[in-house]
Chain A
Amino acid sequence: MAVDYPAPNDPGKLPPRPNGQEATLHVCKKPRCFHSIQEAVNASRGGDTIKVANGKYKEGVQVKNKGRRGLRIIGNKKNPGKVLLNGKSLKGAKAQNAFFVNDVDDVTIRGFKAKNYKANGFFLTKVTGYLLKNLIAQHTGRYGAYAFNSKGGTMAKSEAYEMSDSGFYVGQTPPQAKPKRTFLKNLKSHTNVLGYSGTNMRYVTIQDSQFWNNGIGIVPNALDSEDFAPPEFNVIKDNEIFWNNFNYYLGAPFPVTGDETQTGVFPFPVGLGILLFGGRDTLIEGNKIYGNYAAGFGMIDQLALEQEDARTVDRNTISGNEFGLGGMDLNGRDIAYDGSGSDNCFGDNGDTQNNLPADDSELVACPFSGENGVNTDARNEMIQISVDEDRESHWIKHPHADKAGYTPLEHYGG
Protein backbone atom coordinates (compact mmCIF):
# COMPACT_ATOMS: atom_id res chain seq x y z
CA MET A 1 0.00 0.00 0.00
CA ALA A 2 1.46 3.35 -0.97
CA VAL A 3 0.94 6.13 1.47
CA ASP A 4 1.54 9.82 0.90
CA TYR A 5 4.11 11.06 3.32
CA PRO A 6 5.06 14.72 3.43
CA ALA A 7 8.71 15.55 3.10
CA PRO A 8 10.21 16.98 6.31
CA ASN A 9 10.99 20.29 4.66
CA ASP A 10 7.36 20.78 3.75
CA PRO A 11 5.28 19.58 6.66
CA GLY A 12 2.46 22.06 6.09
CA LYS A 13 1.14 24.42 8.74
CA LEU A 14 -1.25 23.82 11.57
CA PRO A 15 -3.73 26.61 12.19
CA PRO A 16 -3.47 27.98 15.73
CA ARG A 17 -6.23 27.35 18.22
CA PRO A 18 -8.68 30.28 18.21
CA ASN A 19 -8.14 31.06 21.88
CA GLY A 20 -4.46 30.23 21.90
CA GLN A 21 -4.94 27.76 24.73
CA GLU A 22 -3.61 24.25 24.90
CA ALA A 23 -6.36 21.68 24.83
CA THR A 24 -7.04 18.25 26.28
CA LEU A 25 -8.47 15.79 23.78
CA HIS A 26 -10.07 12.55 24.82
CA VAL A 27 -10.04 9.19 23.06
CA CYS A 28 -12.74 6.82 24.25
CA LYS A 29 -15.93 5.09 23.12
CA LYS A 30 -18.29 7.84 24.21
CA PRO A 31 -19.90 9.98 21.51
CA ARG A 32 -18.03 13.16 22.37
CA CYS A 33 -14.63 11.47 22.26
CA PHE A 34 -12.31 10.83 19.38
CA HIS A 35 -12.63 7.18 18.48
CA SER A 36 -9.03 6.61 17.50
CA ILE A 37 -5.74 7.99 18.75
CA GLN A 38 -4.82 9.05 15.23
CA GLU A 39 -7.98 11.15 14.91
CA ALA A 40 -7.04 12.96 18.11
CA VAL A 41 -3.46 13.46 16.93
CA ASN A 42 -4.71 14.90 13.66
CA ALA A 43 -6.83 17.39 15.59
CA SER A 44 -4.07 18.31 18.03
CA ARG A 45 -1.81 21.34 18.22
CA GLY A 46 1.48 21.90 20.01
CA GLY A 47 1.31 21.45 23.76
CA ASP A 48 -2.02 19.66 23.71
CA THR A 49 -2.68 16.58 25.81
CA ILE A 50 -4.44 13.52 24.41
CA LYS A 51 -5.89 11.25 27.06
CA VAL A 52 -6.58 7.74 25.88
CA ALA A 53 -9.04 5.55 27.77
CA ASN A 54 -8.38 1.93 28.64
CA GLY A 55 -9.19 -0.35 25.74
CA LYS A 56 -7.86 -2.12 22.66
CA TYR A 57 -6.82 -0.03 19.67
CA LYS A 58 -6.02 -1.30 16.21
CA GLU A 59 -3.97 1.43 14.64
CA GLY A 60 -0.50 2.66 13.87
CA VAL A 61 -0.28 6.19 15.19
CA GLN A 62 1.82 8.75 13.33
CA VAL A 63 2.79 12.10 14.79
CA LYS A 64 4.11 14.48 12.17
CA ASN A 65 4.27 18.24 11.71
CA LYS A 66 6.56 20.41 13.82
CA GLY A 67 3.51 22.39 14.95
CA ARG A 68 2.67 19.54 17.32
CA ARG A 69 5.75 20.21 19.42
CA GLY A 70 5.20 19.27 23.05
CA LEU A 71 2.22 17.02 22.35
CA ARG A 72 1.46 14.62 25.20
CA ILE A 73 -0.26 11.31 24.50
CA ILE A 74 -1.24 9.65 27.75
CA GLY A 75 -2.75 6.22 28.28
CA ASN A 76 -2.75 4.45 31.63
CA LYS A 77 0.49 5.31 33.40
CA LYS A 78 -0.12 2.92 36.30
CA ASN A 79 -1.20 -0.02 34.17
CA PRO A 80 -0.01 0.38 30.57
CA GLY A 81 -1.30 -3.07 29.61
CA LYS A 82 -4.84 -1.73 29.81
CA VAL A 83 -4.30 0.55 26.82
CA LEU A 84 -3.26 -1.93 24.18
CA LEU A 85 -2.31 -1.13 20.60
CA ASN A 86 -2.39 -4.39 18.68
CA GLY A 87 -1.02 -4.48 15.16
CA LYS A 88 -1.98 -8.07 14.45
CA SER A 89 -4.56 -7.65 11.69
CA LEU A 90 -3.42 -4.29 10.38
CA LYS A 91 -2.20 -3.81 6.81
CA GLY A 92 0.30 -1.51 5.14
CA ALA A 93 2.01 1.27 7.05
CA LYS A 94 -0.28 0.96 10.05
CA ALA A 95 1.03 -2.54 10.72
CA GLN A 96 4.64 -1.37 11.01
CA ASN A 97 4.88 0.92 14.04
CA ALA A 98 2.52 1.37 16.99
CA PHE A 99 3.72 4.96 17.37
CA PHE A 100 5.90 6.80 14.87
CA VAL A 101 7.03 10.35 15.65
CA ASN A 102 8.86 12.12 12.86
CA ASP A 103 10.49 15.52 13.30
CA VAL A 104 8.25 16.69 16.14
CA ASP A 105 10.15 17.78 19.24
CA ASP A 106 9.35 17.15 22.89
CA VAL A 107 6.58 14.62 22.37
CA THR A 108 5.53 12.58 25.42
CA ILE A 109 4.09 9.07 25.10
CA ARG A 110 3.11 7.36 28.36
CA GLY A 111 1.01 4.48 29.52
CA PHE A 112 0.64 2.17 26.50
CA LYS A 113 1.34 -1.40 25.56
CA ALA A 114 2.19 -2.19 21.93
CA LYS A 115 2.04 -5.72 20.59
CA ASN A 116 2.38 -7.51 17.26
CA TYR A 117 3.79 -4.78 15.03
CA LYS A 118 6.23 -5.52 12.23
CA ALA A 119 8.87 -2.83 12.64
CA ASN A 120 8.83 -1.05 16.01
CA GLY A 121 6.77 -0.36 19.08
CA PHE A 122 7.65 3.28 19.76
CA PHE A 123 9.76 4.91 17.05
CA LEU A 124 11.06 8.47 16.98
CA THR A 125 13.28 9.98 14.34
CA LYS A 126 14.85 13.41 13.91
CA VAL A 127 13.50 14.82 17.15
CA THR A 128 15.02 16.96 19.88
CA GLY A 129 13.71 15.84 23.24
CA TYR A 130 11.12 13.18 23.99
CA LEU A 131 9.69 11.26 26.91
CA LEU A 132 8.79 7.58 26.56
CA LYS A 133 7.61 6.32 29.92
CA ASN A 134 5.42 3.59 31.38
CA LEU A 135 5.44 1.65 28.12
CA ILE A 136 5.44 -2.03 27.27
CA ALA A 137 6.52 -3.36 23.89
CA GLN A 138 5.99 -7.03 23.17
CA HIS A 139 6.81 -8.63 19.85
CA THR A 140 6.86 -5.39 17.89
CA GLY A 141 9.35 -6.38 15.21
CA ARG A 142 12.90 -5.06 15.34
CA TYR A 143 12.84 -2.69 18.28
CA GLY A 144 10.66 -1.95 21.27
CA ALA A 145 11.58 1.70 21.70
CA TYR A 146 13.78 3.24 19.00
CA ALA A 147 15.17 6.78 18.85
CA PHE A 148 17.10 7.53 15.69
CA ASN A 149 19.04 10.63 14.64
CA SER A 150 17.71 12.49 17.65
CA LYS A 151 19.10 14.79 20.34
CA GLY A 152 18.27 14.27 23.99
CA GLY A 153 15.30 12.46 25.41
CA THR A 154 14.24 9.99 28.07
CA MET A 155 13.08 6.39 28.05
CA ALA A 156 11.98 5.33 31.53
CA LYS A 157 9.98 2.77 33.49
CA SER A 158 9.33 0.66 30.44
CA GLU A 159 9.67 -2.95 29.36
CA ALA A 160 10.49 -4.53 26.00
CA TYR A 161 10.62 -8.17 25.00
CA GLU A 162 10.53 -10.52 22.01
CA MET A 163 12.35 -8.23 19.55
CA SER A 164 14.37 -9.55 16.63
CA ASP A 165 16.92 -6.82 17.27
CA SER A 166 16.87 -4.92 20.55
CA GLY A 167 14.42 -3.99 23.25
CA PHE A 168 15.70 -0.43 23.38
CA TYR A 169 17.81 1.43 20.82
CA VAL A 170 19.33 4.87 20.51
CA GLY A 171 21.38 5.35 17.38
CA GLN A 172 23.03 7.76 14.98
CA THR A 173 23.13 10.54 17.53
CA PRO A 174 24.38 13.72 15.84
CA PRO A 175 27.54 15.19 17.41
CA GLN A 176 26.67 18.37 19.30
CA ALA A 177 28.70 21.33 20.56
CA LYS A 178 26.48 21.53 23.64
CA PRO A 179 25.30 17.95 24.00
CA LYS A 180 21.80 17.12 25.11
CA ARG A 181 22.04 13.85 26.99
CA THR A 182 19.65 10.99 26.54
CA PHE A 183 18.62 9.05 29.65
CA LEU A 184 17.45 5.46 29.76
CA LYS A 185 16.47 4.43 33.25
CA ASN A 186 14.38 1.91 35.10
CA LEU A 187 14.00 -0.22 31.99
CA LYS A 188 13.43 -3.96 31.75
CA SER A 189 14.61 -5.68 28.60
CA HIS A 190 14.56 -9.42 28.09
CA THR A 191 13.99 -12.21 25.56
CA ASN A 192 15.46 -10.19 22.70
CA VAL A 193 18.44 -10.67 20.42
CA LEU A 194 19.92 -7.68 22.27
CA GLY A 195 18.67 -6.00 25.39
CA TYR A 196 19.97 -2.62 24.33
CA SER A 197 21.75 -1.71 21.10
CA GLY A 198 23.11 1.66 20.09
CA THR A 199 24.86 2.09 16.77
CA ASN A 200 26.94 5.26 16.79
CA MET A 201 25.16 6.44 19.93
CA ARG A 202 26.49 9.33 21.99
CA TYR A 203 25.69 11.26 25.14
CA VAL A 204 23.51 8.38 26.37
CA THR A 205 23.24 7.34 30.01
CA ILE A 206 21.78 3.89 30.71
CA GLN A 207 21.12 3.40 34.39
CA ASP A 208 19.15 1.55 37.04
CA SER A 209 17.81 -0.95 34.52
CA GLN A 210 17.67 -4.70 34.10
CA PHE A 211 18.83 -6.64 31.06
CA TRP A 212 18.41 -10.40 31.21
CA ASN A 213 17.69 -13.42 29.01
CA ASN A 214 18.88 -11.64 25.85
CA GLY A 215 21.59 -12.87 23.49
CA ILE A 216 23.67 -9.93 24.69
CA GLY A 217 22.60 -7.46 27.37
CA ILE A 218 23.98 -4.09 26.20
CA VAL A 219 25.90 -3.38 22.97
CA PRO A 220 27.15 0.08 22.06
CA ASN A 221 28.53 -0.44 18.55
CA ALA A 222 30.15 1.31 15.62
CA LEU A 223 28.76 0.58 12.19
CA ASP A 224 29.19 2.03 8.72
CA SER A 225 25.50 1.63 8.01
CA GLU A 226 24.64 4.70 10.07
CA ASP A 227 26.16 8.17 10.31
CA PHE A 228 28.42 9.56 13.01
CA ALA A 229 30.55 6.57 14.05
CA PRO A 230 31.78 5.75 16.62
CA PRO A 231 29.73 5.61 19.83
CA GLU A 232 31.09 8.06 22.38
CA PHE A 233 30.49 9.83 25.68
CA ASN A 234 28.13 7.18 26.98
CA VAL A 235 27.57 6.05 30.55
CA ILE A 236 26.35 2.61 31.64
CA LYS A 237 25.87 2.60 35.39
CA ASP A 238 24.07 0.87 38.21
CA ASN A 239 22.35 -1.67 36.00
CA GLU A 240 21.71 -5.35 36.66
CA ILE A 241 22.88 -7.36 33.68
CA PHE A 242 22.44 -11.07 34.09
CA TRP A 243 21.72 -14.39 32.39
CA ASN A 244 22.12 -13.06 28.85
CA ASN A 245 22.43 -16.54 27.35
CA PHE A 246 19.35 -16.68 25.14
CA ASN A 247 20.48 -18.71 22.11
CA TYR A 248 17.78 -17.47 19.73
CA TYR A 249 19.65 -19.07 16.83
CA LEU A 250 18.07 -22.34 17.98
CA GLY A 251 14.54 -20.95 18.21
CA ALA A 252 12.85 -17.75 19.23
CA PRO A 253 9.44 -16.07 19.55
CA PHE A 254 10.47 -13.86 16.61
CA PRO A 255 11.77 -14.70 13.13
CA VAL A 256 15.49 -15.34 12.88
CA THR A 257 17.25 -16.05 9.60
CA GLY A 258 20.77 -15.42 10.80
CA ASP A 259 21.47 -12.65 8.33
CA GLU A 260 19.93 -9.96 10.48
CA THR A 261 21.64 -11.00 13.66
CA GLN A 262 25.00 -9.61 12.94
CA THR A 263 27.09 -6.54 13.54
CA GLY A 264 28.68 -5.69 10.23
CA VAL A 265 30.31 -8.87 9.02
CA PHE A 266 30.29 -10.51 12.45
CA PRO A 267 27.38 -12.54 13.77
CA PHE A 268 26.30 -11.53 17.24
CA PRO A 269 27.79 -13.81 19.85
CA VAL A 270 25.49 -15.13 22.56
CA GLY A 271 26.16 -15.11 26.27
CA LEU A 272 27.53 -11.63 26.93
CA GLY A 273 26.48 -9.05 29.49
CA ILE A 274 28.00 -5.90 27.98
CA LEU A 275 29.92 -5.72 24.72
CA LEU A 276 31.69 -2.54 23.63
CA PHE A 277 32.17 -3.07 19.90
CA GLY A 278 34.10 0.08 19.14
CA GLY A 279 33.56 3.24 21.13
CA ARG A 280 35.23 6.05 23.02
CA ASP A 281 34.92 7.78 26.36
CA THR A 282 32.50 5.28 27.83
CA LEU A 283 32.09 5.02 31.58
CA ILE A 284 30.90 1.65 32.83
CA GLU A 285 30.48 1.66 36.58
CA GLY A 286 28.44 0.30 39.41
CA ASN A 287 26.80 -2.46 37.41
CA LYS A 288 26.00 -5.90 38.75
CA ILE A 289 26.98 -8.34 36.03
CA TYR A 290 26.45 -12.04 36.58
CA GLY A 291 25.46 -15.35 35.06
CA ASN A 292 26.52 -14.53 31.47
CA TYR A 293 28.14 -17.66 30.07
CA ALA A 294 30.53 -16.22 27.46
CA ALA A 295 31.61 -13.10 29.37
CA GLY A 296 30.26 -10.49 31.72
CA PHE A 297 32.02 -7.63 29.96
CA GLY A 298 33.74 -7.68 26.56
CA MET A 299 35.56 -4.95 24.67
CA ILE A 300 37.15 -5.04 21.22
CA ASP A 301 37.68 -2.58 18.43
CA GLN A 302 35.33 -2.65 15.44
CA LEU A 303 37.91 -4.20 13.18
CA ALA A 304 35.60 -4.43 10.17
CA LEU A 305 34.56 -0.77 10.14
CA GLU A 306 35.35 0.94 6.84
CA GLN A 307 35.78 4.26 8.60
CA GLU A 308 39.22 3.44 9.95
CA ASP A 309 39.54 6.38 12.34
CA ALA A 310 36.42 5.23 14.21
CA ARG A 311 37.39 1.59 14.74
CA THR A 312 39.25 1.76 18.00
CA VAL A 313 38.13 1.56 21.60
CA ASP A 314 39.67 4.48 23.45
CA ARG A 315 39.44 6.18 26.84
CA ASN A 316 36.88 3.76 28.21
CA THR A 317 36.70 3.29 31.97
CA ILE A 318 35.36 0.12 33.55
CA SER A 319 35.21 0.75 37.26
CA GLY A 320 33.32 -0.19 40.40
CA ASN A 321 31.33 -3.02 38.86
CA GLU A 322 30.44 -6.22 40.70
CA PHE A 323 30.91 -9.44 38.79
CA GLY A 324 29.42 -12.83 39.64
CA LEU A 325 27.02 -11.90 42.44
CA GLY A 326 29.57 -12.50 45.14
CA GLY A 327 30.40 -15.94 43.76
CA MET A 328 26.73 -17.03 43.76
CA ASP A 329 26.20 -16.67 39.97
CA LEU A 330 29.48 -16.55 38.09
CA ASN A 331 30.01 -15.32 34.57
CA GLY A 332 31.79 -17.71 32.22
CA ARG A 333 34.51 -15.09 32.06
CA ASP A 334 34.18 -11.85 33.94
CA ILE A 335 36.15 -9.61 31.58
CA ALA A 336 37.24 -10.29 28.00
CA TYR A 337 39.41 -7.57 26.51
CA ASP A 338 42.01 -8.01 23.82
CA GLY A 339 43.94 -4.83 24.62
CA SER A 340 42.98 -2.96 21.49
CA GLY A 341 42.90 0.84 21.54
CA SER A 342 44.40 3.19 24.07
CA ASP A 343 43.77 4.86 27.41
CA ASN A 344 41.32 2.15 28.49
CA CYS A 345 41.42 1.26 32.17
CA PHE A 346 39.88 -0.91 34.86
CA GLY A 347 39.44 0.00 38.49
CA ASP A 348 37.94 -1.46 41.62
CA ASN A 349 35.87 -4.18 40.01
CA GLY A 350 36.39 -6.53 42.94
CA ASP A 351 37.76 -10.02 42.53
CA THR A 352 37.22 -11.01 38.92
CA GLN A 353 37.71 -14.54 37.70
CA ASN A 354 38.58 -16.39 34.54
CA ASN A 355 39.30 -13.25 32.54
CA LEU A 356 40.50 -13.21 28.96
CA PRO A 357 43.47 -13.12 28.68
CA ALA A 358 43.93 -15.31 31.72
CA ASP A 359 46.95 -13.44 33.12
CA ASP A 360 44.91 -10.23 33.56
CA SER A 361 47.64 -8.36 31.71
CA GLU A 362 45.08 -6.15 29.95
CA LEU A 363 43.35 -5.04 33.14
CA VAL A 364 45.42 -1.91 33.67
CA ALA A 365 44.48 0.33 36.58
CA CYS A 366 42.92 3.76 36.21
CA PRO A 367 44.03 6.29 35.23
CA PHE A 368 45.98 5.01 32.28
CA SER A 369 47.28 6.68 29.17
CA GLY A 370 48.94 5.17 26.16
CA GLU A 371 48.31 2.20 23.95
CA ASN A 372 46.91 -0.71 25.89
CA GLY A 373 48.68 -3.26 23.68
CA VAL A 374 46.93 -6.02 21.79
CA ASN A 375 47.11 -9.60 23.01
CA THR A 376 46.75 -11.53 19.77
CA ASP A 377 45.66 -14.80 21.36
CA ALA A 378 42.91 -13.09 23.33
CA ARG A 379 41.84 -11.22 20.24
CA ASN A 380 41.60 -14.39 18.19
CA GLU A 381 39.63 -16.14 20.90
CA MET A 382 37.17 -13.24 21.13
CA ILE A 383 36.65 -13.31 17.38
CA GLN A 384 36.16 -17.05 17.51
CA ILE A 385 33.49 -16.69 20.19
CA SER A 386 31.61 -14.46 17.76
CA VAL A 387 32.02 -16.34 14.49
CA ASP A 388 31.82 -19.95 15.66
CA GLU A 389 28.45 -21.36 14.65
CA ASP A 390 28.50 -23.60 17.70
CA ARG A 391 28.13 -20.62 19.96
CA GLU A 392 27.59 -22.58 23.10
CA SER A 393 30.93 -24.33 22.73
CA HIS A 394 32.51 -21.14 24.09
CA TRP A 395 30.24 -20.95 27.09
CA ILE A 396 31.49 -21.68 30.55
CA LYS A 397 28.36 -22.52 32.46
CA HIS A 398 27.80 -22.10 36.16
CA PRO A 399 24.66 -22.61 38.23
CA HIS A 400 22.46 -19.55 38.64
CA ALA A 401 21.35 -18.13 41.94
CA ASP A 402 17.62 -18.22 42.58
CA LYS A 403 15.91 -14.95 41.76
CA ALA A 404 12.27 -14.61 42.67
CA GLY A 405 10.08 -13.86 39.65
CA TYR A 406 12.79 -14.58 37.09
CA THR A 407 13.54 -17.75 35.13
CA PRO A 408 16.70 -18.20 33.07
CA LEU A 409 16.12 -18.66 29.33
CA GLU A 410 18.70 -20.36 27.15
CA HIS A 411 16.56 -22.23 24.64
CA TYR A 412 13.12 -21.10 23.61
CA GLY A 413 10.46 -23.76 23.96
CA GLY A 414 7.32 -21.73 23.34
Chain B
Amino acid sequence: MTIIALVLSILLATVSLAIGYVQAGAAGYLLGFLLLAVIWLMTHFRKWYWFSSLALLITVVAAGYGVWRGFPTVWMLLGALGGLLGWDLSDFARRLTYASPMDDIQGMERLHLQRVGIVAGLGFGLAILSVVIRVQRLAFEVAVGLVLLAALGLTRLVMGLRKY
Protein backbone atom coordinates (compact mmCIF):
# COMPACT_ATOMS: atom_id res chain seq x y z
CA MET B 1 0.00 0.00 0.00
CA THR B 2 2.75 2.43 0.98
CA ILE B 3 4.89 1.55 -2.01
CA ILE B 4 1.99 2.19 -4.39
CA ALA B 5 1.33 5.57 -2.75
CA LEU B 6 5.03 6.37 -2.93
CA VAL B 7 5.25 5.60 -6.63
CA LEU B 8 2.16 7.69 -7.29
CA SER B 9 3.61 10.60 -5.29
CA ILE B 10 6.89 10.49 -7.19
CA LEU B 11 4.99 10.44 -10.46
CA LEU B 12 2.78 13.33 -9.29
CA ALA B 13 5.86 15.38 -8.46
CA THR B 14 7.87 14.74 -11.61
CA VAL B 15 5.04 14.59 -14.13
CA SER B 16 3.43 17.81 -12.76
CA LEU B 17 6.70 19.68 -12.96
CA ALA B 18 7.36 18.24 -16.44
CA ILE B 19 3.91 19.32 -17.71
CA GLY B 20 4.30 22.79 -16.18
CA TYR B 21 7.73 23.28 -17.73
CA VAL B 22 6.66 21.94 -21.13
CA GLN B 23 3.56 24.19 -21.16
CA ALA B 24 5.83 27.16 -20.46
CA GLY B 25 8.12 26.18 -23.33
CA ALA B 26 11.00 24.76 -21.23
CA ALA B 27 10.83 21.25 -22.64
CA GLY B 28 14.56 20.77 -22.14
CA TYR B 29 14.00 19.92 -18.50
CA LEU B 30 11.64 17.05 -19.31
CA LEU B 31 14.38 14.45 -19.38
CA GLY B 32 15.71 15.74 -16.05
CA PHE B 33 12.38 15.20 -14.33
CA LEU B 34 11.98 11.71 -15.80
CA LEU B 35 15.50 10.89 -14.64
CA LEU B 36 14.68 12.22 -11.17
CA ALA B 37 11.67 9.89 -10.98
CA VAL B 38 13.68 6.86 -12.05
CA ILE B 39 16.59 7.62 -9.72
CA TRP B 40 14.26 8.32 -6.82
CA LEU B 41 12.54 4.96 -7.22
CA MET B 42 15.80 3.10 -7.70
CA THR B 43 17.42 4.63 -4.62
CA HIS B 44 14.36 3.84 -2.56
CA PHE B 45 14.46 0.17 -3.49
CA ARG B 46 18.19 0.11 -2.80
CA LYS B 47 17.37 1.48 0.66
CA TRP B 48 19.25 4.76 0.08
CA TYR B 49 16.54 6.62 1.93
CA TRP B 50 18.60 9.80 2.22
CA PHE B 51 17.95 10.51 -1.46
CA SER B 52 14.30 11.35 -0.80
CA SER B 53 15.42 14.48 1.14
CA LEU B 54 17.52 15.53 -1.84
CA ALA B 55 14.61 14.81 -4.17
CA LEU B 56 12.31 16.99 -2.02
CA LEU B 57 14.84 19.79 -2.25
CA ILE B 58 15.08 19.40 -6.03
CA THR B 59 11.31 19.40 -6.54
CA VAL B 60 10.77 22.43 -4.28
CA VAL B 61 13.61 24.34 -5.94
CA ALA B 62 12.27 23.37 -9.38
CA ALA B 63 8.77 24.51 -8.36
CA GLY B 64 10.18 27.75 -6.94
CA TYR B 65 12.15 28.42 -10.11
CA GLY B 66 9.04 27.70 -12.13
CA VAL B 67 6.86 30.20 -10.26
CA TRP B 68 9.65 32.81 -10.44
CA ARG B 69 9.73 32.33 -14.22
CA GLY B 70 5.94 32.55 -14.36
CA PHE B 71 5.22 28.89 -15.23
CA PRO B 72 1.69 27.54 -14.53
CA THR B 73 1.27 27.80 -10.76
CA VAL B 74 -1.02 24.80 -10.29
CA TRP B 75 1.49 22.40 -11.84
CA MET B 76 4.28 23.87 -9.72
CA LEU B 77 2.13 23.49 -6.62
CA LEU B 78 1.33 19.88 -7.50
CA GLY B 79 5.02 19.24 -8.14
CA ALA B 80 6.02 20.57 -4.72
CA LEU B 81 3.18 18.67 -3.07
CA GLY B 82 4.18 15.43 -4.84
CA GLY B 83 7.74 15.95 -3.65
CA LEU B 84 6.54 16.42 -0.07
CA LEU B 85 4.36 13.31 -0.21
CA GLY B 86 7.13 11.22 -1.78
CA TRP B 87 9.58 12.35 0.89
CA ASP B 88 7.13 11.54 3.68
CA LEU B 89 6.17 8.13 2.30
CA SER B 90 9.77 7.16 1.68
CA ASP B 91 10.57 7.82 5.32
CA PHE B 92 7.43 6.00 6.43
CA ALA B 93 8.43 2.96 4.35
CA ARG B 94 11.84 3.09 6.05
CA ARG B 95 10.19 3.16 9.50
CA LEU B 96 8.01 0.21 8.54
CA THR B 97 11.11 -1.92 7.93
CA TYR B 98 11.71 -1.83 11.70
CA ALA B 99 8.36 -3.46 12.39
CA SER B 100 8.13 -7.15 13.09
CA PRO B 101 5.79 -9.42 11.09
CA MET B 102 3.55 -9.62 14.17
CA ASP B 103 2.86 -5.89 14.19
CA ASP B 104 -0.27 -4.34 12.69
CA ILE B 105 1.53 -2.95 9.65
CA GLN B 106 -1.59 -2.63 7.51
CA GLY B 107 -3.38 -0.69 10.22
CA MET B 108 -0.48 1.72 10.58
CA GLU B 109 -0.27 2.16 6.82
CA ARG B 110 -3.97 2.95 6.59
CA LEU B 111 -3.82 5.52 9.38
CA HIS B 112 -0.68 7.13 8.00
CA LEU B 113 -2.09 7.44 4.50
CA GLN B 114 -5.27 8.95 5.95
CA ARG B 115 -3.28 11.56 7.87
CA VAL B 116 -1.01 12.38 4.93
CA GLY B 117 -3.99 12.60 2.60
CA ILE B 118 -5.70 15.10 4.90
CA VAL B 119 -2.52 17.17 5.22
CA ALA B 120 -1.94 17.13 1.47
CA GLY B 121 -5.53 18.12 0.74
CA LEU B 122 -5.50 20.88 3.32
CA GLY B 123 -2.14 22.21 2.20
CA PHE B 124 -3.04 22.18 -1.47
CA GLY B 125 -6.43 23.75 -0.80
CA LEU B 126 -4.88 26.58 1.20
CA ALA B 127 -2.26 27.12 -1.47
CA ILE B 128 -4.87 27.29 -4.25
CA LEU B 129 -6.96 29.70 -2.17
CA SER B 130 -3.97 31.92 -1.61
CA VAL B 131 -3.35 32.03 -5.35
CA VAL B 132 -6.98 32.65 -6.29
CA ILE B 133 -7.71 35.30 -3.66
CA ARG B 134 -5.56 38.21 -4.74
CA VAL B 135 -5.00 41.16 -2.45
CA GLN B 136 -5.09 44.34 -4.56
CA ARG B 137 -2.95 46.31 -2.35
CA LEU B 138 -0.80 45.18 0.51
CA ALA B 139 -0.86 47.66 3.37
CA PHE B 140 2.50 48.78 4.66
CA GLU B 141 1.66 47.56 8.17
CA VAL B 142 0.85 44.10 6.86
CA ALA B 143 4.09 44.03 4.90
CA VAL B 144 6.06 45.07 7.98
CA GLY B 145 4.24 42.41 9.99
CA LEU B 146 5.17 39.75 7.47
CA VAL B 147 8.81 40.82 7.47
CA LEU B 148 8.88 40.75 11.27
CA LEU B 149 7.34 37.28 11.22
CA ALA B 150 10.01 36.15 8.79
CA ALA B 151 12.72 37.64 10.97
CA LEU B 152 11.33 35.98 14.08
CA GLY B 153 11.17 32.64 12.34
CA LEU B 154 14.72 32.97 11.04
CA THR B 155 15.99 33.84 14.50
CA ARG B 156 14.39 30.73 15.98
CA LEU B 157 15.77 28.67 13.12
CA VAL B 158 19.30 29.90 13.75
CA MET B 159 18.92 29.17 17.47
CA GLY B 160 17.79 25.68 16.60
CA LEU B 161 20.72 25.16 14.20
CA ARG B 162 23.17 26.15 16.93
CA LYS B 163 22.35 22.89 18.71
CA TYR B 164 24.06 21.08 15.87
A-B complex is real:
no
